[in-house]
Amino acid sequence: MNSERTLVIVKPDGVQRRLIGEILTRIERKGYVISSMKTMKIEKALAEKHYHEHENQPFYDDLISYITSGRVVVAVVTGEGCINGLRYLMGNTDPIKAPPGTIRGDFATNVTKNLIHGSDTLENAEREIALFFREEDLDI
């Protein structure tokens, strides 16, 4: 099985609640590698590109104002099957439906403040990684 890469964002409430370590520990414990990482505040234009597929959704404005509301951690995570594997670690988008043992199931109650982003497909992973990182900075 080929190694994959995916984009992870610890969202603003994850940073504010001091859950960066907890979340990254779970990703590493699973066996994935955090191969590039930075903290930043996402500007509105970048948030809109990242979430463009949701632009017609009723929750879009809340989503953009939330993801731009504070510092985040952005990371490229690599490993065998890590795109879907990370989605399992995250749990359902709505934390109420995310079982205990998942990041959202253990630490979140609110669908907007659901702590973590992980790419959902290979295409989106590559698209999102290119929004946040320069390829030459990943090639280490």
Residues annotated as catalytic are: 117
112 binds ligand DAT (CB under 6 A): yes
Q: How far is the CB of 94 from ligand DAT (least distance, A)?
A: 7
For residue 86, give Cα distances in angstroms to 57, 102, 104, 121.
Answer: 24, 10, 12, 11
**x/- letters, 89..128, toward Mg ion (CB under 5 A):** -------------------------------x--------
Structural tokens at position 17: 């609640």
Tell me the sheet residues that pair with 38: 74
Residue type, 110: N
Distance of CA 24 to the CA centre of its chain: 11
Please list every residue from 70 through 89 that binds ligand DAT, using CB under 6 A: none
Among 19-27, 41-49, 72-80, 113-121, the segment contacting ligand DAT (CB under 6 A): 113-121
